[in-house]
């Protein structure tokens, strides 16, 4: 793992964002794996800015988001599709037909999983996968478990995840299930960029970097990938001595 500890979120957004921009400039039809949550917001703002400055175009890019809540309409204000539309897609020139999202309301998860896997193959595989990390070490919605998952599946959100995300669901019940790409799908990306900021992530970061590779800390599996860049602020890195 290539650990890069930076002083500010803005520095991380710029450095990580430049990696995305270079990738897309060199390969205009790159496939980007995208994540949601609070962490990538600064990065998405930076990508918007670079698009508006004419530095980069996403016109031929394909995007694949990691996960989506179940039992929430696609256009609900709390869906991850809405998050991506508001924070990135509506602000850049990515084309709608190149945006790939899991359907959290599908009645046939196996068919959804197969279709997503095929779409990724058709796009030539994911070039860069962006990840955050949960306080419990989850990546995507791969919660601590007794095995590493393969393929898109429906997952029950852990108490830790429900707790962390409850702030977004003040007036409606938070979904308890989600569809997520599995660990082995994530590992197939050519390059992985994980961003973690804030002291609440410090223990998960320590377990990811220094702990054993175990599905109890799903992010620890990234130790086995050949090209992972981990951007941390000092708080998130505070337990790495």
Q: Any contact of residue 33 with ligand PGA (CB under 6 A)?
A: no
- Give the dihedral sign, CA 166/169/175/177: negative
Catalytic, 15? Answer: no
Site string for ligand PGA, 131-170 (x = CB under 6 A): -xxx------------------------------------
Q: Report in angstroms how near the CB of residue 45 gets to ligand PGA at its nearest.
A: 14
Nearer to ligand PGA, 133 or 189 (CB): 133
| Phi–psi pair at 101, nearest 5 degrees | -140, 140
Q: Any contact of residue 37 with ligand PGA (CB under 6 A)?
A: yes
How many residues are there in the chain? 241
Q: Which range touches ligand PGA (CB under 6 A), out of 33-41, 84-92, 150-158, 183-191?
A: 33-41
Candidate residues 10, 38, 121, 172; the one interacting with ligand PGA per rule CB under 6 A: 38
Strand intervals (E) in the chain: 2-6, 31-34, 62-65, 67-69, 99-100, 128-131, 153-156, 177-180, 191-196, 228-233
Closest CA to 77 of 169, 140, 154, 180: 169
Tally of CB atoms within 10 A around 221: 20
Catalytic, 127? Answer: no
Q: Report in angstroms how near the CB of residue 39 gets to ligand PGA at its nearest.
A: 3
Nearer to ligand PGA, 56 or 182 (CB): 182
Nearer to ligand PGA, 50 or 143 (CB): 143
Q: Which of 67, 68, 112, 127 is the catalytic position?
A: 67
Catalytic, 136? Answer: yes
CA distance 88 to 209: 30
Nearer to ligand PGA, 35 or 123 (CB): 35
CA distance 56 to 104: 31
Tally of CB atoms within 10 A around 233: 20
Question: 69 near 156, Cβ under 8 Å?
Answer: no
Q: Which range touches ligand PGA (CB under 6 A), out of 23-31, 110-118, 129-137, 211-219?
A: 129-137
Residues that bind ligand PGA (CB under 6 A): 37-39, 132-134
Residues that are catalytic? 67, 136, 138, 143
């Amino acid at each position: 793992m290539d650990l890069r500890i930076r002083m500010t979120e803005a520095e991380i957004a710029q450095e990580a964002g430049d990696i995305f921009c270079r990738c897309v400039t060199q390969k205009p039809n790159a496939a980007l794996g995208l994540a949601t949550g609070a962490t990538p917001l600064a990065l998405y703002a930076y990508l918007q800015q670079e698009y508006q400055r004419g530095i980069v175009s996403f016109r031929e890019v394909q995007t694949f988001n990691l996960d989506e809540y179940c039992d929430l309409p696609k256009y609900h204000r709390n869906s991850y599709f809405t998050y991506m539309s508001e924070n990135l897609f509506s602000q850049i020139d990515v084309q709608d037909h190149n945006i790939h999202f899991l359907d959290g309301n599908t009645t046939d998860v196996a068919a959804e999983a197969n279709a997503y896997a095929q779409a990724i193959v058709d796009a030539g595989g994911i070039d860069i996968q962006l990840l955050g990390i949960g306080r419990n070490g989850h990546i995507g919605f791969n919660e601590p478990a007794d095995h590493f998952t393969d393929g898109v599946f429906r997952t029950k959100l852990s108490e830790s995840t429900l707790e962390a995300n409850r702030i977004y669901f003040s007036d409606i019940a938070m979904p308890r299930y989600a569809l997520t790409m599995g660990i082995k799908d994530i590992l197939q990306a050519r390059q992985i960029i994980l961003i973690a900021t804030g002291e609440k992530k410090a223990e998960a970061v320590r377990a990811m970097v220094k702990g054993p590779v175990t599905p109890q800390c799903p992010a620890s599996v990234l130790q086995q990938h050949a090209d992972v860049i981990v951007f941390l602020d000092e708080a998130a890195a505070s337990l790495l001595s």
